[in-house]
Amino acid sequence: MISRIKFTATKGVKLGKRIHLLSGIALTGLFYAFFTLAIARSASAAEPKTTLAISIRTLSSPYQVMYKVGAEAFAKKVDLPLDVLTTEANSQKGLTDIKAEVARTGGNVAFFIDPNDASDALPIAKALEAAGVYFVTWWSKPSEVKAWDYPHWVAHISFDGLAAGTYTATELLRTFKTPGQGKIIALQGRLGDTPNAERWEGLHQVLAKNPEVKLLQWESAQWDRTQAYNDTKAMLVAHPDIDGVWTANDDMAMGAIQALKDAGLAGKVLVTGCDGIPEMFDAIKGGLAAATILNDGKYQAQLGLAMALAAKEGKLDVKSLPHKNRQFEIPAVNVNRDNVNQVVHDYLDTTPTYDLSNFFAQWSTAIP
């Protein structure tokens, strides 16, 4: 039917329209000329001092803010300027901002990057490789993409998401009335996120080993506290007799706890999370949550920046590093009721002194 749409040119093109058309062509030509001229211009003189830059997801989440805090401390220590970029859930913004930072510093920059999506790692790597900028990525990258194919991609590091899922699930099962036997519900984060998929896989490994624990239902609460509250409330109607709630991060865990409070189940049915936000530690102390893991954002940022900077200054020979040191995981801190006070003292009340002379001090497993 669309074929009957008339594409015939409208009759009697007026003078005004012709001018519009001509000016359009002229503008296009100007743009083309400008663009080719601009290519002829070589890159401008570099800034005298190397800039440190971190590209993170947002400044509105306590965990992501830890990156900034850690990076600021590191920048102060080495006396270099620091820039913070945020992706705000927009992959294209993330990539553009990184390129803008390269332009801003004339390429004299070292990057720590937490890609917005796993698939962003590749275009970021290609862009920074082309610009000759050293960088370290965290958390997410497609498994087919290898850091060692890119001389400027110093390393890809991650916390062991699988281990996190396994640990929290195991701890949750221990809290049941009859340990290792019961029913749970679960909340995933944003479907499609790598850490979410890994933690989820960890939960399933534990469930496979414990056939008497049944996962009755799961929902995706998008990492969001309010939605976790809503989803848990609805699921509790369907399954009022659960023994535990597994969630993929602490914010969702807090939402689930609030829903359990309304149902009068808080403290009887325990919750687990991941990330290690201060409220979660209070919940563990108060007997509302079973366990979480602490991903030390301050160390993450410092390690990433230190490695990228060392590579830039020639102190770290990236090419000579074995593959196992280009892609690896470091362990998170497991937190349950037994050690929560100690962890709060060590990581929140005081900032631990990190050993940044050996980048692989915490190396646990290689990422194939």
Q: What span, in angstroms and rounded, lies between the C-alpha atoms of 134 and 285?
A: 42
Task: Name the residue nearer to another protein (CB basis): 282 or 346.
Answer: 282
> Quick one: 57 exposed, middle or buried, by C-beta within 10 A (0-12, 13-18, 19+)?
buried
Q: Minimum distance from CB of 143 to another protein (Å)?
A: 9
Q: What span, in angstroms and rounded, lies between the C-alpha atoms of 94 and 161?
A: 23
Centroid of chain to Cα 58: 10
Q: Which residue blocks in 291-368 are alpha helix, DSSP H?
A: 297-312, 340-343
Q: Minimum distance from CB of 179 to another protein (Å)?
A: 26
Q: What span, in angstroms and rounded, lies between the C-alpha atoms of 225 and 249?
A: 10
Q: What span, in angstroms and rounded, lies between the C-alpha atoms of 260 and 288?
A: 9
Task: Name the residue nearer to another protein (CB basis): 102 or 330.
Answer: 102
Task: Name the residue nearer to another protein (CB basis): 34 or 338.
Answer: 34
* Backbone conformation region of residue 107, classed left if phi is above 0, alpha if psi is from -120 to 50, else beta: left
Q: Minimum distance from CB of 124 to another protein (Å)?
A: 9
Q: What span, in angstroms and rounded, lies between the C-alpha atoms of 331 and 299?
A: 12
Task: Name the residue nearer to another protein (CB basis): 3 or 178.
Answer: 3
Task: Name the residue nearer to another protein (CB basis): 185 or 270.
Answer: 185
Task: Name the residue nearer to another protein (CB basis): 239 or 315.
Answer: 239
Q: What span, in angstroms and rounded, lies between the C-alpha atoms of 89 and 235?
A: 28
Task: Name the residue nearer to another protein (CB basis): 2 or 208.
Answer: 2
Contacts of 255 (CB under 8 A, 6+ apart): 221, 224, 225, 226, 227, 228, 229, 230, 232
Q: Minimum distance from CB of 220 to another protein (Å)?
A: 5
Q: Minimum distance from CB of 49 to another protein (Å)?
A: 13
Task: Name the residue nearer to another protein (CB basis): 262 or 355.
Answer: 262
Q: Minimum distance from CB of 293 to another protein (Å)?
A: 18
Given a contact cutoff of 8 angstroms between Cβ atoms, the answer to whether 291 and 275 are in contact is: no
Q: Minimum distance from CB of 125 to another protein (Å)?
A: 10
CB pairs under 8 A, 24+ apart, for 89-92? Answer: 89/57, 89/58, 89/116, 90/116, 91/115, 91/116, 91/117, 91/119, 91/120
Q: Minimum distance from CB of 71 to another protein (Å)?
A: 12
Task: Name the residue nearer to another protein (CB basis): 16 or 322.
Answer: 16
- In 3D space, the residue among 307, 297, 296 whose CA is nearest the CA of residue 110 turns out to be 307
Q: Minimum distance from CB of 226 to another protein (Å)?
A: 6
Q: Which amino acid is at 188?
A: Q
Q: Minimum distance from CB of 350 to another protein (Å)?
A: 18
Task: Name the residue nearer to another protein (CB basis): 21 or 366.
Answer: 21
- The DSSP annotation for 144-184 comes to TS-GGGSTTEEEEEEE-HHHHHHHHHHHHHHTSSBTTBEEE
